[in-house]
Amino acid sequence: MKPIYTIDDVISNLDTIIEESILDHNPLGYFAALYRKVTVKVKEGILSNFFDDGSRMEKLDVIFASRYLHAYFAYKNQQPTTESWKKAFDVSKKYWPIVLQHLLMGMNAHINLDLGIATAEVAKDQNIEDLKDDFNKINEILSSLVLEVERDLAEIWPTWHKILKLTRNIDDFLIDFSMEIARDGAWKFANNIADSSEDQLQKHIEERDEKVIKNANFITNPGWIVKLVMGVIRLGELGSVADKIKDLKN
């Protein structure tokens, strides 16, 4: 892994993952491709003064992204990582999960575990409430993943929008998952751990990790009706793994 000091370093590392995943036809590249889009949007927001404190937001982005990148490279090198990330990465070895499930598994681990940890670290020795406006703004960008996902999936599986209309609960789940849980759960977790000692922090992270795994279990096993629909979608997905990664990146 290349050193990470700036948001451009984050993008460079994501490019490495994407390029390797395209060459290896590895589904791990799905989340990296979508996450690159989000990171570029955050960078644009910093440059356009969208955030209250651009330098603080870059620090948050670097710490936040580093948790994913460290987890990814640890997993690739068969080193330990959080259980929620391990579960997300393990999905890449299975045939039946659709692109949406790969993305949601990454979002689950990264937003519901990593975002709160990164937020608390940036706010250390400060009033965490001072960060709330920018926290909400970065979640506006994260929430835009909903539309990004739907547009990208329509490229991979052209009848995706028809499926969404027929199976309204999948669409509702996607929106609720990325917006409500990400915003409220991560902020609450950040507040809970903001003043924790190192020992307490590790315990809180382990407890949170267990809760995030429960979300992951719901994503991979959403019930037989949704599972049946997703099986049909999987069989109808267009292109190779490499093609899908390129669709998500562009």
Q: Identify which of 107, 230, 103 has the alpha carbon closest to the alpha carbon of residue 157.
A: 230
State residue 147's pLDDT score.
67
State residue 126's pLDDT score.
87
Distances (CA, A) of 194 to 112, 120, 122: 16, 5, 9
8 Å CB contact between 142 and 178: yes
State residue 58's pLDDT score.
96
Separation between Cα atoms, residue 131 and residue 30, nearest integer Å? 30
Interhelix angle for 28-47 vs 132-143, to 10°?
130
State residue 125's pLDDT score.
82
Separation between Cα atoms, residue 107 and residue 45, nearest integer Å? 21
State residue 247's pLDDT score.
84
Q: Which stretches of the chain drop beneath a pLDDT of 70?
A: 144-183, 222-227, 229-231, 235-236, 238
Q: What is the 3-state secondary structure (H, E, C) of the chain?
A: CCCCCCHHHHHHHHHHHHHHHHHHCCCHHHHHHHHHHHHHHHHHHHHCCCCCCHHHHHHHHHHHHHHHHHHHHHHHCCCCCCHHHHHHHHHHHCCCCCHHHHHHHHHHHHHHHHHHHHHHHHCCCCCHHHHHHHHHHHHHHHHCHHHHHHHHHHHHCCCHHHHHHHCHHHHHHHHHHHHHHHHHHHHHHHHHHCCCCHHHHHHHHHHHHHHHHHHHHHHHCCCHHHHHHHHHHHHHCCCCHHHHHHHHHC
Instruction: Give the list of residues 6+ apart from residue 210 with CB closer than 8 angstroms, or none.
Output: 83
For residue 231, report the phi and psi dihedrals to the nearest 5 degrees: -65, -40
pLDDT tens figures, 129-181: 999 999 988 878 877 666 666 666 666 666 655 665 555 555 555 555 555 66
State residue 53's pLDDT score.
94
Instruction: Give the list of residues 6+ apart from residue 47 with CB closer than 8 angstroms, or none.
Output: 54
Whole-model pTM: value is 0.87
pLDDT tens figures, 229-248: 666 777 667 678 898 899 88
Separation between Cα atoms, residue 210 and residue 135, nearest integer Å? 24
Q: Which two tokens stand for residue 58?
A: 């870059």
